[in-house]
Structure 1
Amino acid sequence: MTKVQADPGHSAWYVDRFRNLAAAGEDIVGEARMIDTMVPRGARILDAGCGAGRNGGYLHHTGHTVVGVDVDPTLITAARTDHPGPQWIIGDLAELDLPVRGIPEPFDIILCAGNVMTFLAPSTRTDVLRRFHQHLSPAGRAVVGFGAGRGYPFAEFLTDAERAGLVPDLLLSTWDLRPFSKDSDFLVAVLRATTAPQP
């Protein structure tokens, strides 16, 4: 919400941006296509930091059960308007507790795209990753993508993930499966749940 407080028009701009890209025929669901290949049809998917619903909407239409969560009410309203079908929820990822809201868990996969991790307050990053761990099935995976130079070094993120009980199965540099290297300016981390989170 810090971003919205600093720029009250940001949410409306963001919604319009992706509507315009879609209307122009641009590919705006590359992240969702990757997720679709990782799970069987009918999987339970959590779109964490779902924004205006572009990825969750696509995954719903390919036959998955999707729950999308975002802290921004403007974005959730747009998701409900543009992509009916998934369950869209206003909520803080650092306080994520979907069973309390009557939403069954666990999830087969969690998608966290759009640089969401870099928009979080640094003090809540590990808490968010712990919440991901708590909402995953034993064989589930969390897929998190964000760019370099946004105040959250990749090595720090991977350390936080390990503290949260999540370890990498695969590190990529793009959503189209290019390998990650020390020079990559983007990270897509496919994480699996292992031990309980560290205190």
Structure 2
Amino acid sequence: MPGPERNVWTTVVAANPGHARAYAQRWRDLEAAGRDIDGEARLIDAMADRGSRILDAGCGTGRVGGYLAARGHDVVGVDLDEHLISVAREDHPGSRWEVGDLATFTLHDAQGAPLAVDLVVSAGNVMTFLADAERVPALARIRAHLAPGGRAVIGFQTARGYSAEEFAGDAERAGLAISQRFASWQLAPWTDDTGFLVAVLVAG
């Protein structure tokens, strides 16, 4: 199935300018109500050595990256939405949160050198919000920021119009290879009819 012609997030926000604020408030309300919103972050924390440098790609409000930063990791987050980045900066000060397009972003360290990270995480169906033409470029930008031996972990609902097979092909075109596949962030076994994909990728 072809992907969207336009970035879904920017299309929704253009039609409803209050969408980003409502989205951010929803996560705050869920956390205040005691709901578990940290499942993705716990997996990434378990995969990472202490003090790892982690890129949260499509970080939104900093929900995942903020958890990881609180556990001693060096986190930088990138998201297209300026309001969500402002929430991440307010709720999780001390980490680096940048407004950027996943299809074109480039990050540098404090010395101006290209930033290399140990792990990339992209949760919350970020890949399905991208336009079809943005998917390979976004995966290529993720690949470009991986340190030698680094891994990327990307999760999304395949029922949202982006199949596991399409994703694997796009990843290969971007210079990435899938090393593991799961059906949930709790590492449920992958099957071909699973409606959710969590893929662990390495440089191909």
Same fold, judged at TM 0.5 (above): yes
Deviation at 1:2, TM superposition (A): 2.2
Q: Contact conserved, 1:57 with 1:85, CA < 8 A, in 2?
A: no
Q: Contact conserved, 1:118 with 1:152, CA < 8 A, in 2?
A: yes
Look up the match of 1:130: 140
Does 1:51 find its partner at 2:48?
no
Give unpaired runs (5+ residues) of structure 2: 1-9
User: Alignment partner of 1:181: what SS?
Assistant: coil
Alpha-carbon distance in structure 2 between the residues aligned to 1:94 and 1:100: 19
Alpha-carbon distance in structure 2 between the residues aligned to 1:109 and 1:5: 32
One-letter code of the match for 2:26?
R
Look up the match of 2:23: 14
One-letter code of the match for 1:42?
G
Q: Contact conserved, 1:118 with 1:150, CA < 8 A, in 2?
A: yes
Deviation sequence 1:36-74 (CA, Å, 0-9, x none): 011100000000000001111000000000000000001
Look up the match of 1:24: 33
The answer to which structure, 1 or 2, has the higher relative contact order (CA under 8 A, 6+ apart) is: 2
Alpha-carbon distance in structure 1 between the residues aligned to 2:103 and 2:12: 16
Look up the match of 1:36: 45
TM-score normalised to structure 1 length: 0.94
Give unpaired runs (5+ residues) of structure 1: 195-199
Deviation sequence 1:53-104 (CA, Å, 0-9, x none): 1111000000000000000001001111111121000000111111299475
TM-score normalised to structure 2 length: 0.92
Deviation sequence 1:106-143 (CA, Å, 0-9, x none): 10000000000000111010000000110001100110
Q: Percent identity?
A: 55
Alpha-carbon distance in structure 1 between the residues aligned to 2:12 and 2:102: 15
Alpha-carbon distance in structure 1 between the residues aligned to 2:57 and 2:118: 13
- In the alignment, which of 84, 97, 117 is matched to residue 107 of structure 1? 117
4+ runs of 1 displaced by more than 6 Å?
A: none
